[in-house]
Structure 1
Amino acid sequence: MKPRYERPGVPGGTTFTCFTRREAGFAFAWHFHREYELTLITGGSGTRYVGTTVERYIPGDLVLLGPELPHTYASDEQSEAAVTQFRHDFLGEGFFELPQFRAVQSLLSRSARGLYFADAAPELHADIARLPALEPATQTLRLLDVLHRLADTASTPVTGPGYAAAPSTAVRDRVDVVCRYLQQAHTEPVLLDDVAGLVHMTPTSFSRFFRRAIGCTLTDYVNQLRIETACLLLTTTSLPVTEIAARSGYRNLANFNRRFRELKALRPTQYRAAHLK
């Protein structure tokens, strides 16, 4: 199973798409498209999958994704997001090559690995959230202003340096099969032989392939999935840590605590306390 290619529709009277996504829960729908995508979470929490990176999202999560970068959002609760999708030439061929838009061009180039804006100003969040409600001309001008301001806002890449958007078809198809399987199976024992068999490779060849394609080992990626599952359980249930460890795929509590501290720099109890305030 590979990510579904999407072709977002463009409403009449404009050259890009801007909408509010409001659902009882965001279903896991691994996909990619030719458009850039700017997403601001305005309600709900869940898990954000971009390339091969898995992270929790909460209201205020702001991400710009480059074209053909596989992604999805998943949650089991009421969620809402302001989403804007546009192509590089939505304002005309060569528009962003103009000297006055060099900073925006740089922003768009860097978004190939996805960009996360942890410290965007509240005013910028508000303007992005209001975009879907504007009429087309004002919406276009406001989006250009938003991109200009984002170019001056600190950001961090979402995916690791080992992942590139739209790799070769053979590599992408194998990565997609594996990531979709692990998203569903990571809370159970994950065996190298079984995962390698999904893409018809020997375990040794698969281990080399996975590390080259993704930038981390299979074990590291599975731990990332499991810890994000644990974070969800820590913040949405009152289950004891021992039960959360088991439900996240860890049969050994000491190993769970060690992995959690490695990825979150906190003990599970500290993480729960910090996120329940």
Structure 2
Amino acid sequence: MTKLFTENIIHEITPLSEKDCFYVADRRKKEFTYPMHSHKEFELNFVEHAPGVKRTVGDSIEVIGDYDLVLITSPDLEHVWEQNTCNSLDIREITVQLVPCFINGLMSTNQFDSIRRMLEKAQNGLCFPMDAIMRVYTLLDKLPEMKGFYAVVHFLTLLYELSCFTDQARALSSTSFAKVEIHSDSRRVQRVQEYIGKHYQEEIRLGYLANMVGMTEVSFSRFFKLRTGKSLSDYIIDLRLGYATRLLVDSTMAIAEICYECGFNNLSNFNRIFKKKKNCSPKEFRDNYRKKRTII
């Protein structure tokens, strides 16, 4: 039986009241001390002048540079910014937490289509490029000073400007770790993704998938990469690794058990692939993640 460590997850209670649309915190500080957490509210987090800080969003662990802007819209996606090697004395962090029901009511309209796409992609955590940060920097800088109706208009403008960079923004956590359902614009790709999602523990053959959608193997391989941005083999590996990292974090299963449970048929191969993709061993990933889940 798999034992889960759900009691170690910190579910943050935000300052938002039932009558608030969103909440803005503008902090000047010298260090990051808040532990890993999750919350039902959408979050846009901007960090300035904090090179060397380690950012964890789901199973994505990266060291940031001078500027970092991340949007998270999944209620179960753990995240944290840690001090790591940062020695800056002038860190600025602007955090915007947004009530989902407020923005969801607008998303069915054509005018908000680009924002809707961005929010869907941000279920994995979305890291914006420097061009996007420069586009919205002034809007972010002024947002903490805004009040009432004009603050809402100002923030919606900020979201729209960011949504223009959705295709350039980079998803952080793997879909399987973040427990996000995949919705492709292509029915053929979606059919294949659904099959892989149900059979990732088994051997998956290219020929079978190509026949499933009525294409040759070569044509299907090209088509799949064009539509998903990944080769079929990379897609399957990333999906399996996402399930593996989730089990490493949430269960007491042995690493060898997790290896076979997630469709890897060789422990040494699993360790090698994990190290290449995550820059650490499965054991190191598990140990580091659990240290961040300190109860407060």
Do the two structures share a fold, i.e. TM-score over 0.5? yes
Amino acid at match of 1:73: W
Give the TM-score of the pair, scaled to structure 2. 0.58
Q: 1:66 aligns with which of 73, 78, 97?
A: 73
Cα deviation for residue 206 of structure 1 reads 1.8
Counterpart-to-counterpart distance in 1, 2:262 and 2:148? 44
Q: What does residue range 5-24 of structure 1 map to in structure 2 within 5 Å? A: 5-10=11-16, 14-24=20-30
| 1:126 lines up with 2:138 in the alignment | yes
Q: What does residue range 55-134 of structure 1 map to in structure 2 within 5 Å? A: 55-68=62-75, 69-75=77-83, 76-77=86-87, 78=89, 79-91=91-103, 94-118=105-129, 119-120=131-132, 122-134=134-146
Match of 2:58 in 1: 51
Cα deviation for residue 67 of structure 1 reads 2.2
Match of 2:170 in 1: 156
Counterpart-to-counterpart distance in 2, 1:14 and 1:144? 15
Cα deviation for residue 5 of structure 1 reads 0.7
Which consecutive unaligned segments of at least 5 residues does structure 1 have? 180-197, 228-277
3-state DSSP of counterpart to 1:205:
helix
Higher relative contact order (CA 8 A, sep 6+): 2
Give the TM-score of the pair, scaled to structure 1. 0.62
Cα deviation for residue 14 of structure 1 reads 3.5
Amino acid at match of 2:70: V
Cα deviation for residue 37 of structure 1 reads 0.8
Counterpart-to-counterpart distance in 1, 2:263 and 2:63? 23
C-alpha RMSD over aligned residues: 3.3
Cα deviation for residue 129 of structure 1 reads 2.8
3-state DSSP of counterpart to 1:89:
helix
Cα deviation for residue 62 of structure 1 reads 1.1
Tell me if structure 1 keeps the 8 A contact 2:20–2:99.
no
Cα deviation for residue 160 of structure 1 reads 2.8
Amino acid at match of 2:48: T
Which consecutive unaligned segments of at least 5 residues does structure 2 have? 182-241, 282-296
The superposition leaves residues 157-182 of structure 1 with CA deviations (integer Å, 9 ceiling, x where unpaired) of 11234432479xxxx9x957845xxx
3-state DSSP of counterpart to 2:27:
strand
Counting aligned pairs with the same residue, the percent is: 19
3-state DSSP of counterpart to 1:96:
coil
Tell me if structure 2 keeps the 8 A contact 1:3–1:31.
yes
